[in-house]
């Protein structure tokens, strides 16, 4: 039971970071119907930007805030240069553009920062673990969880109480109706990419504090895909819950199944669960079911 609780708690803490990255996936899909396959590279960009600010001597909190600003601007720029010219084109073509962006961003990152593992020095979070009975939890996981929850609440408040947040929801629900009410779809799409950059960047920064930062962190963006599909591609609450579920599943698989396999079960298990769920719930647990009448 102690091992189970240890794996469960750590999985929830890591899953909160996955939920942040999943939020970026969901936002872009809700507003444009496009599956952004460059999400892993967005996590890398934010993480490396924050690391650079931190190594320049800027306090971590300020470095994180600057990363949010840089992510917002990069999101607007990416949408304007690469995605806006694709408006009206087939969805598959736009998805292939995101694949191209993935390779482009990865090449730029390797050119600037290389492929060696980098760490935040001095360490941002205290190294002393927290003891809950016999359960040991690293402080980096706890603080990463707190930061993720704060940002998730901020994003939810933005969607619920601000003009542009409501406009994004309206566009996602019914684009034609939103346009008829005066919503500027171009600004909505740009905001979706900007917020996706911000959420993914913070997620990458927190993951970089846990395991160090190198080019492989970008693959975690694809590992979040099961969380997005599991929760429902167009559901923000589903993305958050899906991220928590995937974090727990990964940890449990690593703790109980890795001893029986040569390796890699931690990464594969969420995808296996995703496939099983989709057999019974094709739109995910909270996704919108599309009904077509002919």
Highest-scoring range by mean pLDDT, 149-153, 210-214, 246-250: 246-250
Q: Pick from 48, 39, 84: which is nearest to 196 by CA? A: 39
pLDDT of 234 over the 80 cut:
no
pLDDT at 280: 85
pLDDT grade, residue 274 (50/70/90)?
confident
Q: Is 8 exposed, middle or buried (0-12, 13-18, 19+ CB in 10 A)?
A: middle
Angle value at C-alpha 126, between 125 and 132, nearest 5 degrees: 110
pLDDT of 286 over the 80 cut:
no
pLDDT at 29: 81
Q: Which residues, including other chains, have CB under 8 Å from residue 105's CB and lie 6 or more apart? A: 38, 41, 42, 44, 45
pLDDT (mean) for 118-143: 82
Selected residue with higher pLDDT from 98 and 86:
98
- Domain residue ranges in the chain: 2-280
pLDDT at 104: 92
pLDDT at 288: 59
pLDDT at 290: 56
pLDDT at 73: 94
Angle value at C-alpha 16, between 47 and 109, nearest 5 degrees: 15
Tens digits of per-residue pLDDT, 243-260? 888 889 888 888 888 887
User: Concatenated DSSP letters for 72-83?
Assistant: HHHHHHHIIIII
CATH architecture of 2-280: Orthogonal Bundle (1.10)
Distance CA 61, CA 237 (A): 26
pLDDT of 54 over the 90 cut:
yes
Angle value at C-alpha 20, between 16 and 24, nearest 5 degrees: 155
pLDDT of 66 over the 90 cut:
yes
pLDDT at 137: 84
Angle value at C-alpha 283, between 227 and 294, nearest 5 degrees: 160
Q: Is 95 exposed, middle or buried (0-12, 13-18, 19+ CB in 10 A)?
A: middle
pLDDT of 152 over the 60 cut:
yes
Question: Which residues is 135 bridged to in the sheet?
Answer: 132
Q: Pick from 176, 288, 268: which is nearest to 225 by CA? A: 268
pLDDT at 174: 67
User: Concatenated DSSP letters for 34-48?
Assistant: ---TTHHHHHHHHHH
- What percent of the chain is predicted at pLDDT more than 90? 15
pLDDT of 173 over the 70 cut:
no
Comparing 6-15, 59-68, 223-232, 260-269, the range with the smallest average pLDDT is: 260-269
pLDDT of 171 over the 60 cut:
yes
Question: Which residues is 131 bridged to in the sheet?
Answer: 136
Average per-residue pLDDT for the chain:
83
Please give the model's pTM, rounded to 2 decimal places: 0.86
Q: Pick from 162, 204, 196, 207: which is nearest to 28 by CA? A: 196
């Amino acid at each position: 039971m102690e091992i189970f609780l240890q794996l469960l708690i750590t999985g929830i803490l890591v899953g909160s970071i996955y939920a942040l990255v999943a939020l970026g996936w969901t936002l872009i899909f809700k507003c444009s119907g496009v599956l952004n396959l460059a999400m892993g590279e967005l996590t890398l960009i934010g993480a490396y930007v924050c690391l650079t600010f931190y190594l320049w001597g800027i306090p971590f909190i300020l470095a994180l805030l600057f990363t949010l600003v840089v992510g917002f601007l990069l999101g607007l720029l990416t949408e304007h240069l690469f995605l806006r010219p694709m408006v009206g084109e087939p969805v598959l073509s736009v998805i292939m553009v995101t694949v191209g962006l993935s390779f482009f961003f990865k090449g730029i990152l390797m050119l600037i920062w290389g492929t060696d593992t980098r760490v935040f020095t001095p360490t941002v979070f205290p190294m002393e673990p927290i003891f809950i009975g016999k359960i040991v939890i690293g402080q980096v996981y706890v603080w990463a969880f707190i930061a993720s929850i704060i940002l998730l609440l901020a994003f939810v408040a933005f969607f619920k109480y601000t003009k542009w947040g409501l406009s994004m929801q309206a566009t996602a629900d019914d684009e034609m109706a939103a346009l008829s009410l005066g919503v500027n779809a171009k600004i909505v799409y740009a905001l979706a990419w900007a917020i996706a950059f911000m959420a993914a960047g913070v997620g990458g920064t927190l993951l970089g504090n846990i395991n160090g930062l190198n080019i492989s962190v970008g693959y975690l963006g694809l590992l979040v895909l099961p969380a997005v599909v599991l929760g429902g591609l167009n559901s923000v609450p589903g993305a958050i819950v899906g991220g928590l579920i995937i974090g727990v599943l990964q940890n449990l698989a690593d703790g109980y199944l890795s001893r029986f396999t040569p390796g890699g079960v931690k990464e594969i298990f969420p995808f296996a669960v995703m496939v099983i769920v989709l057999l019974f719930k094709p739109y995910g647990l909270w996704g919108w079911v599309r009904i077509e009448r002919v």
